């Protein structure tokens, strides 16, 4: 069960990073890849918090 939980966590992490990087509608320029991609990776690590709290707030604000 522990391995299954880790697999779910890492799949959610990868899916969040891919979504935020390519499908969120953020307009990238050559320089903001240096800022946006590390932020997306960080948000991928905290994806339960992102999808539970931050994403709903983002859509309401």
**What's this model's pTM, rounded to 2 decimal places?**
0.85
Residues of the chain with pLDDT > 70: what percent? 100
pLDDT digits (tens, 9 = 90+) for 12-33: 999 999 999 999 888 888 888 8
In this prediction, residue 21 carries a pLDDT of 92
Concatenate the DSSP letters of all residues of 5-61 into one string: HHHHHHHHHHHHHHIIIIIS-----TTTHHHHHHHHHHHHHTHHHIIIIIHHHHHH-
In this prediction, residue 11 carries a pLDDT of 97
Considering only CA atoms, which of 40, 46, 34, 39 is closest in space to residue 9? 46
How far is Cα of residue 4 from the mean position of the Cα atoms in its chain? 20
pLDDT digits (tens, 9 = 90+) for 32-51: 889 999 999 999 999 999 99
Considering only CA atoms, which of 17, 13, 14, 24 is closest in space to residue 40? 17
């Amino acid at each position: 069960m522990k391995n299954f939980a880790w697999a779910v966590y890492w799949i959610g992490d990868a899916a969040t990073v891919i979504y935020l990087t390519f499908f969120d509608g953020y307009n990238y320029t050559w320089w903001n890849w240096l800022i946006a991609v590390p932020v997306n990776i960080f948000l991928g690590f905290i994806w339960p918090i992102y999808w539970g709290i931050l994403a709903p707030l983002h859509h309401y604000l």
